Structure 1
Amino acid sequence: MPRRTATMLASTLLLIGLLCAGVLIKVPYAEMSPGPTVNTLGEHDGEPVLNIKDRKTYETSGHLNMTTVRVTGADYRMNLAEAVSGWLQHDSAVVPHSTLYPEDKSAKEVDEENAEEFSASQESAKVSALRELKIKVPSYVIVGSVVKGGASQGKLHAGDVIRAVDGKKVTAPKDVASVITKRKPGDEVRFTIVPAAKAEAAEKAGKKLSSRDETRITVGTKKAEDDGRAIVGIQPAIGHAFPFDIDIKLADVGGPSAGLMFSLGIVDKLTREDLTGGSFVAGTGTIDDKGKVGAIGGIQMKTVAARAKGAKFFLTPEDNCPSAAKDRPAGLTLVKTGTIGDAMDALTKIRKDDTAALPKCKAS
């Protein structure tokens, strides 16, 4: 066999071997890529994303799109060829599998956490939106969750409003812990609560909770495994009494990063003036009850998804600005956003076509 033919044959066989290896060798990585983007002012799967009842709402135009990141499933194992391909693409990111799915948590637990974060972000979006509009939203301490097998199981329930602990008025979640940690394991603690069902009924009826709604429940304490302190097995949290119903419907989405855009969508529907002026605005960012916008993951994938959908402006958490600006899609203006107030100011500038005054993201 001629040397040239032998060399070509060997090279071909080597290439085939490498290709087979690339397909067969599994690597501990996962891929993040641009996901769906949904207009919070519009509909999704035939239903309004935001549905506000018992309050006057106004017509809106334009877009206030929330953005998402698509990730490979927990049970999916990438092969070497897929990982290399992902690394070479600018609109995707290949990350260690444990980054998305920690080894100490099951896929179900990760999904449950994402769902809880999404639910909490909706709550904060409603609060921040109404407070931006100067609408009062009373808050109170609730039982956020009950530890399975803990001392409170069967006695306290998620959603119960905690009015006092051992007779001491409770105004913040830390107040609950400060009383309980002064007890010794085995001691009893008296909770003054309004059961979740009764609190929900009062909220729907627009009534304030009174002492007549209260129930006293005694819970024994157990010894914490880590430091031996007294615990009752609950996680206190903050609940809110909304003056009217705001329903957010968006299936198959998890995590807290849509908070800002949900909040702006609510404000737009409750405001006579059209916030966007018909412009296509997208964005991302967590939001807390006070309207502070927080950083999120996968910013490059979200900007790519937004621009591909038609967005011209992207409300970007200020902490994400440097990385977002490094790979900004052409034609997309990245607007630095630290609070809901910043976002409202930016929308005013966009609406008035004063885009030169927008606070734009810059690469570090």
Structure 2
Amino acid sequence: MFAHREIAGRRPRHKACHCRRSRLLITTVVRVNRRILTLIAALVPVLVLGVAGSVVTVPFVALGPGPTFDTLGQVEGKPVVDVTGAPLDPTSGHLNMTTVSVRDGLNLFEAFGFWVSGEHGLVPRAEVYPPGVPREEVDKSNQQDFKDSESDAEVAALHYLKMPTVVLVRGLGEEGPANGVLQVGDELISIDGTPIATPKDVIDLVGTKKPGTTISVVHRRGDIELTSPITLAPRPGDETKGYLGITPGEGGRPPLRVEFNLADIGGPSAGLMFSLSLIDKLSPGELNGGKFVAGTGTIDQDGKVGPIGGIQYKMIAAREAGAETFLVPADNCNEAGQRAPEGLRLVKVDTLDTAVASLAEINAGREVIGCG
């Protein structure tokens, strides 16, 4: 009986202990699962935001300081402004053109990072890349503006220096009748015996001829003078007038030749600095006094300096590159004066003459008109 009771008495105690452990285990598992679920619920929005922030793009582009280029220096082993066929005066120091970087296709995180950087700004993408216009077309237009600014800068500098200019073939249409007959760089002398003095003369003379008319073009290529017959095509937009298919422009009289060796840059705002570089190379003395000068501004063939965009970013780029003086188009002066980096002297310019005269005043230790 004793043994039986002992055995009978142990079994209930064993069963009670087993049940309590099971309930404790179940309670612990439930608590852990609740914590995991709570953690997952808290992490889901973070994960969604992280994925969205790194994948979803915003309708803005970031503008900021871009690279600067010394127009007196070299790029990839070639002079930025390459002048041949004339004696060159030694130069030193810097005449830097400045650019604005444009970053497109930003996700949420990148856009926020640029916004808080202090050196970048966000603008609606439509202001840089108009809706309905392919980006490639916008980039192509900007690159053409840059090439046009090179031509205008050359002519403005030559006019300032009172050096003679001639009418040159600046561009050839692929489908135009002159393609394969004339070449870019040819000097145009006469059309059907009428001398060519300005690019407008070419347009006006050809416009008096009917499509299908064969004209005689006298042109000079290097040291050789050529006479070439060309049959005119109908002018796009007005098929009653003749079309030669060239872009005429002014340039230095051979053997003077000017080439610009910067690629993958768009817009017309390097014009002023290109003109100054060319003047510095073709005239005695140093425009910059051997110091670090940077600047920006469009220029036309008469030497008028025009406004540009992104002045605040160009000033930052110039100062970070080491510039002490920055040439500012007159129409940008108010904005520039409010955003000028510390230690950068601003000089207000409205013409090429003003820019050259202001640099001479600075070299002489005199005050110039700034932006403030």
> TM-score with structure 2 length normalisation?
0.75
Q: Which of 51, 66, 69 in structure 2 is aligned with 1:20?
A: 51
Alignment of 1:150-299 (within 5 A): 150-165=176-191, 168-182=194-208, 186-188=211-213, 190-194=215-219, 198-201=220-223, 213-222=225-234, 224=236, 226=237, 229-232=240-243, 234-240=245-251, 241-242=253-254, 244-299=256-311
1:321-358 alpha-carbon deviations (Å, 9 max, x no partner): 2332332212222211111111112112221222xx32
Q: CA deviation at 1:305?
A: 0.3
Residue 330 of structure 1: aligned partner: 342
Q: CA deviation at 1:283?
A: 0.5
Greater mean deviation of Cα atoms: 314-323 or 13-22: 13-22
**Counterpart residue type for residue 231 of structure 2:** V
Residue 104 of structure 1: aligned partner: 133
Residue 358 of structure 1: aligned partner: 368
Residue 110 of structure 2: aligned partner: 82
For structure 1, the 5+ residue unaligned runs are 203-212
- Contact 2:166 2:187 (C-alpha < 8 Å) held by counterparts: no
- Contact 1:295 1:319 (C-alpha < 8 Å) held by counterparts: yes
Distance in 2 between residues matched to 1:230 and 1:54, nearest whole Å: 38
SS class of match (1:273): coil
Q: Which of 141, 151, 160 in structure 2 is aligned with 1:132?
A: 160
User: CA, structure 1 residues 233+16, in 2 after alignment: closer, same or farther (shift >3 Å)?
Assistant: farther
Residue 147 of structure 1: aligned partner: 173
Residue 206 of structure 1: aligned partner: none
Residue 360 of structure 2: aligned partner: 348
Structure with bigger helix share is 2
For structure 2, the 5+ residue unaligned runs are 1-30
- Contact 2:272 2:297 (C-alpha < 8 Å) held by counterparts: yes
> TM-score with structure 1 length normalisation?
0.77
User: CA, structure 1 residues 156+361, in 2 after alignment: closer, same or farther (shift >3 Å)?
Assistant: same
What is the number of residues matched between the two proteins? 339
- Contact 2:270 2:296 (C-alpha < 8 Å) held by counterparts: yes
Distance in 2 between residues matched to 1:270 and 1:6, nearest whole Å: 77
Q: CA deviation at 1:23?
A: 1.6
- Contact 2:88 2:282 (C-alpha < 8 Å) held by counterparts: yes
Q: Which has the larger radius of gyration?
A: 2
Q: Do structure 1's residue 304 and structure 2's residue 334 form an aligned pair?
A: no
SS class of match (1:83): helix
- Contact 1:162 1:191 (C-alpha < 8 Å) held by counterparts: no
Q: Do structure 1's residue 30 and structure 2's residue 55 form an aligned pair?
A: no
